[in-house]
């Protein structure tokens, strides 16, 4: 049976609608229920936004989901103030302020936002083409999407694919979603609309 263009369009709309219905709101806009704070840096909710901010110790800090997520599509919005060096960790665990896992970078211009970094391991696994850095809107709201399915990880920034990586070690990873405050002080990042759609095998 042939599908008309209109039929295909309706099918796509239906699939998008189903995905939205299955989305889990990781941040409720009111408090940090469902999350755990690691370290002494500041994590708080203000005017419906999740905010991370460097504290007096200017160290690393993390906010991790209490649930583990294996295969998923994660979307969120972030707005950087001041330094803005942060990140989104996937399949990660945190011990004190030592994280084990993989970070999709959130950083100031020219610092490889959207790239994938392995903390306390191999370091940078892949960086975006420098030309794509123009998609980052410093001081404005940005939309990041991360799709993790098996060993394949893809990141998008404001609708533009930044990197795709297939890595067996990532494929074996288990853990939570975690947001980061980088060390060094002077960092403040706002987050909102943090949603995840689990991918079933």
User: Domains of the chain, with CATH numbers?
Assistant: 27-198 (2.60.120.560)
Answer whether residue 98 shows pLDDT above 80: yes
CB burial of residue 198 (10 Å; 0-12, 13-18, 19+):
middle
Per-residue pLDDT, 94:
96
Per-residue pLDDT, 22:
87
Interval 23-74: pLDDT, tens: 999 999 999 999 999 999 999 999 999 999 999 888 999 999 999 999 999 9
Answer whether residue 155 shows pLDDT above 70: yes
Beta strands in the chain (DSSP E): 24-25, 35-38, 42-46, 49-53, 61-68, 72-82, 86-95, 98-106, 116-119, 123-126, 142-149, 152-157, 160-166, 176-181, 187-198
Task: Band the pLDDT of 152: cuts 50, 70, 90.
Answer: very high
With beta carbons less than 8 A apart as the criterion, state whether 55 and 42 touch.
Answer: yes
State pTM to two decimals.
0.88
With beta carbons less than 8 A apart as the criterion, state whether 199 and 149 touch.
Answer: yes
Per cent of the chain over pLDDT 90 is 82
Interval 106-133: pLDDT, tens: 999 999 999 999 999 999 999 999 999 9
Cα separation, 85 vs 111, whole angstroms: 9
CA angle 71, 87, 36 (to 5 degrees): 75
Q: Cβ neighbours of residue 170 under 8 Å, at least 6 residues apart? A: 91, 102, 148, 151, 153
Question: Average pLDDT of 142-166?
Answer: 98
CA dihedral 46, 159, 82, 32 (to 10 degrees): 30
């Amino acid at each position: 049976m042939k599908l008309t263009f209109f039929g295909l369009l309706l099918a796509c709309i239906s699939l998008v609608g189903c995905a939205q219905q299955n989305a889990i709101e990781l941040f409720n806009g009111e408090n940090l229920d469902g999350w755990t704070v690691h370290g002494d840096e500041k994590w708080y909710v203000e005017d419906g936004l999740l905010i991370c901010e460097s504290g007096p110790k200017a160290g690393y800090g993390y906010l991790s989901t209490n649930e583990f997520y294996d295969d998923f599509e994660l979307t969120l919005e972030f707005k950087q103030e001041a330094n803005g060096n942060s990140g989104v960790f996937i399949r990660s665990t945190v011990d004190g302020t030592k994280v084990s896992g993989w970070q999709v970078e959130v950083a100031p211009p020219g610092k490889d936002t959207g790239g994938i970094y392995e903390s306390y391991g191999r370091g940078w696994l892949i960086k975006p083409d420098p030309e794509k850095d123009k998609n980052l809107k410093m001081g404005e709201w940005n939309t990041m999407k991360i799709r993790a399915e098996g060993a394949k990880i893809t990141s998008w920034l404001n609708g533009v694919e930044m990197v795709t990586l297939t890595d067996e070690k990532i494929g074996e990873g288990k853990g939570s979603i975690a947001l980061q405050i980088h060390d060094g002080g002077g960092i403040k990042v706002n987050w909102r609309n943090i949603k995840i759609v689990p991918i079933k095998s």
